[in-house]
Amino acid sequence: QVQLQESGPGLVKPSETLSLTCTVSGGSLVSYYWSWIRQSPGKGLEWIGCIYFSGTTSYNPSLKSRVTISLDTSKNHFSLRLSSVTSADTAVYYCARTYNSRAMDVWGQGTTVTVSS
């Protein structure tokens, strides 16, 4: 069965770039969308963006100027870069396999990223 695992630094300094990778095991990137979602402490879910296996991306308009999602089919992973971070970007970041309807059926366990000097 498909499993997703997020990885990356747990602490990022303000104004720097947050970089996370989601490694897909037990399946291929082909024919699916792949999303990043975050959840601030005690808050709800916020969709960050997604990428199709072909490389087409779609981003949350509120984050679009700072977000880049990319994928590497040879390594079976996809990545998130979020630039110019502030404390408001402190959250648990999840990656998820996504249908074309945006429903997300397989999730990673999540990784906590704290923005602090």
Partner 1 sequence: EIVLTQSPGTLSLSPGERATLSCGASQSVSSSYLAWYHQKPGQAPRLLIYGAYTRATGTPERFSGSGSGTDFTLTISRLEPEDFAVYYCQHDETFGPGTKVEI
Q: Do the Cβ atoms of 95 and 36 come closer than 8 Å? A: yes
Chain centre to alpha carbon of residue 39: 11
Q: Which of 2, 17, 45, 114 binds partner 1 (CB under 8 A)?
A: 45
User: Shortest CA distance to 22 belongs to which of 96, 99, 104?
Assistant: 96
Q: Which of 23, 60, 73, 76 binds partner 1 (CB under 8 A)?
A: 60
**Binding-site size, partner 1 (CB under 8 A):** 19
Q: Which of 15, 64, 103, 114 binds partner 1 (CB under 8 A)?
A: 103
Shortest distance, CB of residue 113 to partner 1, whole angstroms? 15
Q: Which stretch binds partner 1 (CB under 8 A): 24-32, 68-76, 81-89, 105-113?
A: 105-113
Q: Does 36 bind partner 1 (CB under 8 A)?
A: no
Gap between the Cα atoms of 51 and 20, Å rounded: 14
Structure tokens at 21: 């990778």
Q: Do the Cβ atoms of 111 and 7 come closer than 8 Å? A: yes
Shortest distance, CB of residue 93 to partner 1, whole angstroms? 11
